[in-house]
Amino acid sequence: MNATMTAFGLVLAPILPLLLLLFWCVPALRPRVEVLTPWAAVPAVLLVLFGETGMRVELSWLLFGSALAMDTLTRVFLAFTALLWLGAGLYSQGMLVNDERAGSFRLAWLATMAGNFTLLLAVDVVTFYVGFALMTFAAYGLIIHSRDPEALFAGRVYLIMAILGEGLIIAGLLLAASRTAAPLAAMLADIPAAVMDAPYRDLIIACFFLGFGVKAGVPLVHMWLPLAHPAAPTPASAVLSGAMIKAGLFGWMATLPFGLVALPQWGLGVITTGFVAAFGGALIGVHQRKAKTVLAYSSISQMGLITAGIGAGLYQPALWPALAPALALYAFHHGLAKGALFLGVGVANQAAAHWRFGLWLALALPGLSLAGPMVSGAVAKVSLKIVLEAGIATPTWWRYLPLLLSLAAIGTTTLIARYLWLLSQSEPRAKISGIQWLGWGLLLAVSVVGLILLPWVPTISGIPPDPIYLPDLIWPVLVGLVLAVCASRFLRSWPVPEGDLIIVFPMAARGVWNFLQYVLLKVTHFFIWRRQIRHQRKSVEADTRLERSDVEYLLRRNAALVFALLLAVGLIASILNP
C-alpha cells in the first residue's frame, strides 16, 4: 500500500462506521447498512496489514485542526482492535436475526467502533478525547441492549463510572495541555513532557491513572466490568473486554511521562495496585457462577499484570523503550484470546451436543494462551519477564516481580478451568449460524497464530521464546490445574456477587446522603431561628420548620449545579496557578 492509499485508509478506518451510522437514518438504505455493518472494520484491518508506518494525515478543517497517524505502537493496538471488531461483528450478524432491537444495537456498535478507531489513530488531544468519549458513551447502548433489569443496572453503574473517568481524563488533559506551546491545539505526543514539567504533576498523573483506569479495571473503579460483561450481548462483551479496556492502557502509554522522569513513589503504588488486581480478580473470579462473569474477573486479573508493568515503567524510566513493546504485545495477546473466549460462550451455548467436546478443547487453546504455554501467551509473558529482569539498581523487592507474574498465572489457570467447567454444565439452546462460526473461528485462529502471521508485532523474546523459560511457563499451569481439581471436589464457591464492592457503595452513599440532609436541616433551622429573633416574630413551630423531605428535594434539585460549579472553580484555579 503506497502513501496515498495509506492516507486514505487512515481517514476511512474511523469515518466508515460513522458514514454507515448516517446512512442508517435513510430508511431506503437500512438493508444495505445491515449487510455492511459487520464489515465496517475491514478498512482498519487492511490499514494494519498493508499501511505504511509513520504516515500522517492533516485535517485542518476539523475541530481545531485534527491529524491522524499510525506509528508502530498504534499499529499493534489497531491490529487486535480491528480484528476483534471484525470477528465480533460477524458473530453479531447472526445473533441479531429476528432481534427487535437490532437497529439500536447496530447504531451503538458503529458509534463505539468509530470512537475506538479514532482514539487510536488521533495525533492531537482534541481528536483523541472526542474518540475516547464517543467510544465510552456509545458503549452504554451495547450494555443495555436487552433492557432487562440486570442490563439496566449494569448500564447505570457503567455510566456512573464512565462519567467519573471522563471527568478525570478531561481535567488531566486540560491541565497538561495548558503547559504546552499550543494549549488549544495540543499534540498528544507533547502531553508526557508537559506532565513532567507541570508544577501540579502528581495531580495530573492521578487524573490520568484513575481516569483511564476506569476502562482498565483498576481496583475500586473496576465494578462495572463484572456487571457489564454478563449483561451485554456476547459480541459486545468480546469488544468490551478485548478492545475497549485496552483503550485505558493506550491512554496511559500516550499521556504519562514514561522514560522522562523517575517516579518511584508512583511506580511502587501502581505496581502494588496491579498485583492486587491480578490476585484479587482471580480470587473473586473462581467463585462466580456465570462463564462471562468469570472472564470479566479474568480480564481484571490480566489487566492487573499490565498495570504492574506500567508501574515498572514509572519506577525505572530506562526500562520504557523495551517495556512499551512488551506491554503492547501483552495487550495484543490478551485482547484476541479474550475475544475468542467470550464468543466461545455463545458458540458453546448454541452449538449442537455432538460439537460440545470439540468446542471445549478448541476453547482451551486461547485459555492456555492466557495462562502461558501457547505461542502468543508464552512470547508475551516471557517478554515482560525479560524486561523486568533487566532492571538496574533496583531495590530488593524488585527481584520478586517475575515470580509474582508466575504466581498470577496460577490464578489465570484456575479461572480458565472454572470457565470451561461452567460451559460444560450449560445446556445448548439453539443452533448457531454459519456467520457466527466464521466470526468465532477468525478470533480463535488469530489468538493462536496471530504473532506468526503478523511478523511486525514487536517481540523481545523471539518466536518461540528461549526453551530456558519453558519450566516457568508450565509449572504455574500444572499447579493451577491441581488447585482447580481439588477446589471442584472439596470446596464450595463463596456467594460473592457480581461487582463485589458495588454492594458497599449504595450503603455508603445512603449514609452520606442522610448526613447531608441532617446537616442542612440543622443549619436551616438555625438561620430560621435567628431570623425569628431578629424580627421578634413568634409563629407556630410547624409554620417555620423545614421538613426533611423538603431538604431532600433541594439537594436533588441543586446537587448537579453545585458539583459542576465546584469542579469548574477547581479547574480554573489549577490552570491559573503559576
- CA–CA separation, 46 vs 9, rounded Å? 8
Average pLDDT for runs of 10 along the chain of length 578 = 83 93 90 91 92 85 82 91 94 87 92 95 93 94 91 91 92 90 85 90 94 91 88 92 92 93 93 94 89 91 93 92 91 91 84 70 85 78 86 83 90 90 76 86 86 71 75 87 82 72 65 68 60 49 46 53 62 56
Specify whether the CB–CB gap between 240 and 142 falls below 8 A: yes
Neighbours of 403 (CB within 10 A): 11
C-alpha cell at 198: 507541570
Cell (9 digits) for 355: 460439537
Query: d(Cα 207, Cα 214) in Å, to the nearest integer?
Result: 11
Burial of 527 (0-12, 13-18, 19+ CB in 10 A): exposed
Helices (H), 373-499: 375-389, 401-425, 434-453, 470-490
* Short-list 431, 525, 486, CA closest to 95: 431
All residues at 6 or more sequence positions from 166 whose CB lies less than 8 Å from its CB, including other chains: 132, 133, 136, 211
* pLDDT on residue 505: 63
CA distance 203 to 224: 24
Helix, strand or coil for residue 146? Answer: coil
Kind and range of the H or E element at 66? strand 66-69
Q: What angle do CA 269, 272, 275 make, to 5 degrees?
A: 150
Determine the Cα–Cα distance for residues 309 and 74; give it in Å rounded to an integer: 18
Task: Give the distance, in angstroms, between the CA of residue 406 and the centroid of all CA atoms in the same chain.
Answer: 23
CA distances from 422 to 211, 408, 425 (A): 34, 21, 5
Residue with cell 492533516: 58
Given a contact cutoff of 8 angstroms between Cβ atoms, the answer to whether 376 and 336 are in contact is yes
State residue 524's pLDDT score.
66
